[in-house]
Structure 1
């Protein structure tokens, strides 16, 4: 056993899990092959909106290798429920949102291209595909609606008969009267029409499911690429299949990326679990990439009118927002919370804006359901705020850094007008450091050099704030959450002093096996290699809430710290007995228990051995063993923040934009592993820049067909599209309400980068008279904006 390391927190320790990934020894859901394995293929609707008249599976069932074929009628006959939504939003009139049924397999009607129509199970994937092609479906094609902005207009086709106007809810937040009054006295109002483009998540590992049934004890085991196995089990067992949770074990092995798209309970998961009992054999399905484009929940898709009221000195008086948010054809698991609780509550940004009012109309369309995607509401809010601020600076001829300084929040804690209380921050220092690293003072010279070469150069800013670790459960419940938001940590100390940690958090690339081990190893004074992290298996870990919203270290890590507190308390009592001292006189540091003021000590491994070999042990007051669990329900969000500066060069002849440098300075509070944090920021920046410059999900307005249904039409960023980032994690302001002082980092880059990129492009194009540009800023869009401005002048 290696010697313990006593300064692991804050160290750039190489990731423990990387060896198995780099050597091809990871185990993903598709790697799992069970005895008597069968394979599933879903027949999906080619139409965005159609009535199903008949489904003829006669020929398909006779195809070689077919085990079974199921339709929505089969599931209805078994009383299988629809997929539930986990967050209830009320409209401004007090009525609960419209929740039309979300069938696992479409029964009478399909509502988007890719909707499941039949499940084919065979002895091989090829046999299942061949059989699926023999199924004959008689459709009556219906008119479709896909346009977010006009989905609720009079005369549009109804996605659901029970929601004739396609409105899921009309929701308001903030003080409307105070906001309107502030606008009435404003010296200047900045107004923007903003489209936050729909995105398609693209994790390296597609979604996959492998379900098996055991007749021996009437139980199910589900292997699934999912970010929160316990929530998957709860929703499926209790609300869809009506099973005791004890009869369903959900295991999420190695998961190759999630970004929110693997949080949800999907139809495929339910269908295969149900089918495994029907055929008494395991059933596996792995999405093909083109299939994922029409079956994975999409992200963003907001249309917004945004207004910012300012006084004559450029100080913010009020903000007024009206957003139409696309839910897609059905309500996905957490869809309703994204454009409301996770969006409007962040519209204050880093600024002391006295009054804010936001209205959100959520609409149904004949498109793939929309749900949380990296940042989930916070990127949309930040984009609105930072585009408004930069535009206002340009209109008032103020330096974009100066207008931000004039309006920064400086005193903490700070209660925003949209319901959050920021516990700590230092926005001015972070911005100053970003300006320094970006060499803003030298920008004018670089711009002149670009102009000599016939190019335009711009500088764009973005000062974001994020709310991580959604909390607390009682407040979230009052706001509509249908689940708790705590996390669990269980510490099992083995007789020889090694430790197994069971966490309800789940890793899909974040490095938990390293980061959590650093926390435990430093706290207990043991070697990093002596700590094992177990996650992703409802059969092994207590009930936890999974990973999303940058909650893992702030909530999951805090639960682990609470369990370690209990371990230390019991271990001190054991040490006191062995050292013949009072428990209150025992000190614990660097893996050693010491009687205060003496040289009498016991090592951690001696205490753990005594706990399991209790020959000299206070059995009259302590039970044997050394294992403790703790649940942590945060009292507040954590609030990471940062200042991003993008410098971009534009070729006016072609519209091609090249990021010359990108500077990101973040305040994540205390940092456990700087190297892992830097990697998380890099990944977020790549996704945010991808949205700003390349990615856009497009549907045909007439037919509802997905026009960007593959990598031929949906432009994912390549390494060559990205610059060398200048990334720095500031010393920061530690979170005041969790034991580690951490804040969360996983989504920051995707939140702060899109407005910085667009602001930079508009700064470059400002001399030509271009004042606005929607994402993504493709060469064609930029070129078109340039030529439209030239024609206007």
Structure 2
């Protein structure tokens, strides 16, 4: 697809040439005109705050809200008893039906026990947020502390504290992927078996904007309008309806500008639900904005896997089998599908390799920690990390260069579509070409020739990580509505919060209709004005939403051609179209009554909504498509990290980072680059600094940006990018998602580089995050 034409939405570089289309979203964001949920000012709005559990695990013996309720400006103090007495179920949706146990769903306010620190116990509503927080401090809660468990392996041990009577061993579900018997056969008598134990560290979403909601209730209509930070407005409408006990038509969800999602804002939390519940009870708007610490305490966390993995290999380096067992921490409750999500993470364990037999057993385990759900990548980073670390260890133990080991096992281009032993069906790819592009861009051979030691005394290492990423899935809606004057409004069920949908979708429609992008508006984020949609997550928006929009635009053009044919008095197949004008094709003759040689797109739009619409046609020029792709599209690539380590202090420097990705057709290269850069930054953050840590009592130690180490710009190298293009045959655009590639590839690439630098000391593995202290201890212990 081509972008907009010069003069419509393009910028110039210093030499006066075209630098590429400017993102349409950027001006409002950069000038501060974008409106976020907390920017909304309703003079009648009251403010909601929560009393949160001080303990990771405790019985609630009593709640005394007398002092809080007597404070001036306090409008209400609510506990679970108040919710239970209402007509609302008061619990968050949960996929408990897919679990191996019977456990209660997450209540919006704790019933009689708290299972993680920060769990809401009482809700306070006051005239302003300051008085609401004063009232929170005035609520007295009487606890009976219980023993806590925060580690997913320890939680399954005999004698561990039990969170739910229905899950006495704390296991929510155990899932098998692959063929256990075939994998056991592969390990029966292998020439080599290599194993590794590793941790995929727990992460906390650190979006610029914490979660927030403004809930309004119309008693006359018995209907809510909830403006909130959401990646999926229609999904949140459904979830709010579940919690409040309403039909979806009684709820409108609006999602304005959202300052980062990363999966965190696709889930349902007590804050949004209680804002709506309180708005109905008080019959006035209620606003809630989480603090950063609240977001860290009670927002959904990500990752947190403990894994043991083994690889069976022949002497020549051919992989025979992969065996994996993982304990996945799902926290104190099964938030939405969070407890069942680990059951499919093994679907990408094959990565880019021909592995004849794979078996993965995953235990989803309850602990006294915040609920865990999807975080940018949602299972794909966890799977690729296991395989890429294990492949690197295997290559080193067999004395084979890690790149050569990978080459020997890569899936060949003529093997696509490729069915893996764990149920994935790869659509297309040329994995070796992507690998070679990355190695050439990184000067891999030169780095190897220069060796580990340099004049400055630091140790150098090079790490390579190959990856695949499943993208797309589900259905999406796309509406293209042409107005009487020829202007166009595009609506989609996705939501843009950094992905650049307004630019991408406008350009897609401009390409089909051949009109300026300035004539096209893009709408998202309102469940009332847009047909039911699925939302933005899982690198799906352009694949599914973009395809829906293009199909609608093509249908609009086909109908417009029929209107033009009527004006030109020819058959529709005799009508040519280009640059916004319909004309009679060469060699075709128009009817004797027609005086027009051409008719513009805008004129056709006027015909569609004017008098004299042809009898065999309906008025209007608008089409709606619900599109679902033929299958999953699999992005792939190779990333290379180069590190330098001070052996005396463990200080780590990322000297270079190279990312070569293949996301099929690149409709908007600038947006693709931005997604890669952002993903790599988050992946490096996980690799070198980020980890959510609890003490043994379930107290979150990393509860603010002072203690949770998000990387700064100065911590990141310049990210060098390259590309290969292998179109996907499973959608009409030939695209694959790119939003999570960096978070998948960066952690194993960086860890592989650090281990490469330290391997001569006998260091075999270092768990993330690779802090200076962790590296220093690995060096010390090796000595």
Q: Quickly name the TM-score band, shorter chain normalised.
A: over 0.9
TM-score scaled by length of structure 1: 0.94
- Mapped contact 1:174–1:417 kept (Cα < 8 A): yes
Q: 1:587 aligns with which of 567, 576, 590?
A: 576
2:183 aligned to which of 170, 174, 179? 179
Change (3 A) 1:591 1:228: same
Q: Which residue of 1 aligns with 2:25?
A: 17
Q: Distance in 1 between matches of 2:763 and 2:119?
A: 41
Q: Counterparts of 1:496-645 in structure 2 under 5 Å?
A: 496-598=485-587, 600-615=597-612, 617-618=613-614, 620-645=615-640
State the match for 1:716 in structure 2: 710
Matched, 1:27 2:35: yes
Contact kept? 1:35, 1:282, Cα under 8 Å: no
Summarize the alignment of residues 357-436 of structure 1 with structure 2, pairs less than 5 Å apart.
357-410=359-412, 411-436=415-440
Tell me which of 183, 188, 201 is aligned to 2:205: 201
Sort the Cα spacing of 1:98 and 1:458 in 2 relative to 1 into closer, same or farther, 3 A. farther
Q: Deviations over 1:104-144 (max 9, x none)?
A: 10021111100001111111111111111111111111111
SS at match of 2:131: helix
Which of 179, 183, 191 is matched with 2:195 structurally?
Answer: 191
The answer to whether residue 777 in structure 2 is matched with residue 788 in structure 1 is: no
Q: Distance in 2 between matches of 1:521 and 1:51?
A: 60
Query: In the superposition, relative to structure 1, how do residues 86 and 50 fare at CA in structure 2: closer, same or farther (>3 Å)?
Result: closer
- Once the two structures are overlaid, the 10-residue window that deviates more, 766-775 or 589-598, is 589-598
Residue 568 of structure 1: how far off its partner (Å): 1.7
Q: Measure the CA separation in 2 of the matches of 1:13 and 1:722.
A: 27
Q: Does 1:729 align with 2:731?
A: no
Instruction: Give 1:337 shift.
Output: 4.3
The question of 1:65 aligning with 2:73 is answered yes
> Does the 8 A contact of 2:92 with 2:108 survive in 1?
no
Of the candidates 495, 518, 539, which is equivalent to residue 484 of structure 2?
495
Could you tell me how far 1:173 is from its partner in structure 2?
0.9
The partner residue of 2:303 within 296, 300, 306 is: 300
Are the equivalent residues in 2 in contact too, given 1:61–1:69 (CA < 8 A)? yes
* Runs of 4+, deviation exceeding 3 Å: 2-12, 82-91, 96-99, 444-448, 587-590, 598-601
Question: CA, structure 1 residues 175+650, in 2 after alignment: closer, same or farther (shift >3 Å)?
Answer: same
SS of structure 1 residue aligned to 2:633: coil
The Cα of 1:596 is off from its aligned counterpart by 2.7
Contact 1:460/1:647, CA 8 A, preserved across alignment = yes
- The 5 Å alignment of 1:333-344 reads 333-341=336-344, 343-344=345-346
Aligned-partner Cα distance in 2 for 1:535–1:318: 46
Q: Take 2:419 and 2:748, find their aligned partners in 1: how far apart are those partners?
A: 25
Indicate which of 250, 273, 277 corresponds to 2:276: 273
1:284 matches 2:277: no
Instruction: Select the residue among 730, 747, 765 that pairs with 1:772.
Output: 765
Find the aligned partners of 1:441 and 1:101 in 2 and give their Cα distance.
55
What are the superposed Cα offsets for residues 33-84 of structure 1, whole Å, 9 maximum, x if unpaired?
Answer: 2241111111100001111111111111111111111111100111432544
Q: Secondary structure at the match of 2:204?
A: coil
**3-state secondary structure, aligned to 1:336:** coil
Gap change, CA 1:87 and 1:598, over 3 Å in 2:
farther
Whole-angstrom distance in 2 between the partners of 1:336 and 1:330? 8
SS, match of residue 778 in structure 2? helix
The separation in 2 between residues aligned to 1:627 and 1:5, in whole angstroms, is 27
1:644 Cα offset (Å): 0.3
Distance 1:524 1:87, change over 3 A: farther
Which residue number corresponds to residue 688 of structure 1? 683
CA contact (8 A) 2:419 2:426 kept: yes
- After superposition, where does 1:50-199 map in structure 2 within 5 Å? 50-85=58-93, 87=95, 90=98, 96-199=100-203
Among candidates 316, 320, 329, match of residue 317 of structure 1: 320
Q: Which residue of 2 aligns with 1:467?
A: 470
Q: Distance in 1 between matches of 2:460 and 2:587?
A: 67
CA displacement at 1:672 relative to structure 2: 1.3
SS at match of 2:187: helix
Query: Over residues 716-746 of structure 1, what are the superposed CA-to-partner deviations in whole Å (9 max), with x where a residue is unaligned?
Result: 101111101101232x101101111110111
Change (3 A) 1:372 1:3: closer
Counting matched residue pairs gives 764
Q: How does 1:699-710 map to 2 (within 5 A)?
A: 699-701=694-696, 703-710=697-704
How high is the TM-score relative to the length of structure 2?
0.95
Change over 3 Å in CA distance of 1:591–1:559 after alignment to 2: same
- Post-superposition Cα deviations, 1:414-438, rounded to whole Å, max 9, x if no partner, equal 1111111111001111111100100
Whether contact under 8 Å (1:6, 1:590) holds in the other structure is: no
**What is the rounded CA distance, in whole Å, between the counterparts of 1:189 and 1:140 in structure 2?**
49
Structure 1 unmatched runs, 5+ = 471-484
> What is the CA–CA distance in structure 2 between the aligned matches of 1:650 and 1:408, rounded to whole Å?
31
CA offset at residue 388 of structure 1?
Answer: 0.8
SS at match of 1:371: coil
**Structure 2, unpaired ranges of 5+:** 11-17, 589-596
Distance apart, 1:446 and its partner CA: 4.3
Tell me how far apart the structure 2 counterparts of residues 635 and 7 of structure 1 sit (CA, whole Å): 35
Q: In the alignment, which of 44, 48, 71 is matched to residue 36 of structure 1?
A: 44
2:358 alignment partner in structure 1: 356
The answer for the alignment partner of 1:475 in structure 2 is none
Task: Identify the match of residue 647 of structure 1 among 636, 642, 645.
Answer: 642
Three-state SS of the structure 2 residue aligned to 1:766 is: helix
TM-aligned CA deviation for residue 4 of structure 1: 5.7
Instruction: State how far apart, in whole Å, the 2-side matches of 1:243 and 1:265 are.
Output: 16
Q: Deviations over 1:500-541 (max 9, x none)?
A: 011000011111111111111111111111111100111110
Are 1:453 and 2:479 an aligned pair?
no
Judge which range, 559-568 or 202-211, deviates more.
559-568
Task: Report the CA distance between 1:555 and its aligned residue.
Answer: 0.6
Instruction: Determine if contact 2:441/2:722 at 8 Å carries over to the other structure.
Output: no
CA contact (8 A) 1:695 1:716 kept: yes
- Superposed displacement of residue 162, structure 1: 2.3
- List per-residue Cα deviations over 1:192-240 (Å, max 9, x = no partner): 0010000011000111011011122111110110100101111221x22
Structure 1 position 338, deviation (Å)? 3.0
- Deviation, 1:266, is 0.9
CA-to-partner distance for each residue in 1:218-276, whole Å, 9 max, x for gaps? 11110110100101111221x22121211110001000000000001111111111110
2:157, 2:38 → 1: CA distance?
Answer: 44
1:99–1:517 Cα change, 3 Å: farther
Partner of 2:56: 48
* Displacement after TM superposition at 1:765 (Å): 0.2
Look up the SS of the partner of 1:232 in the other structure: helix
| 1:674 paired to 2:669 | yes
Q: Write the deviation string for residues 616-639 of structure 1: whole angstroms up to 9, x where unpaired.
A: x31x11111101100011221111
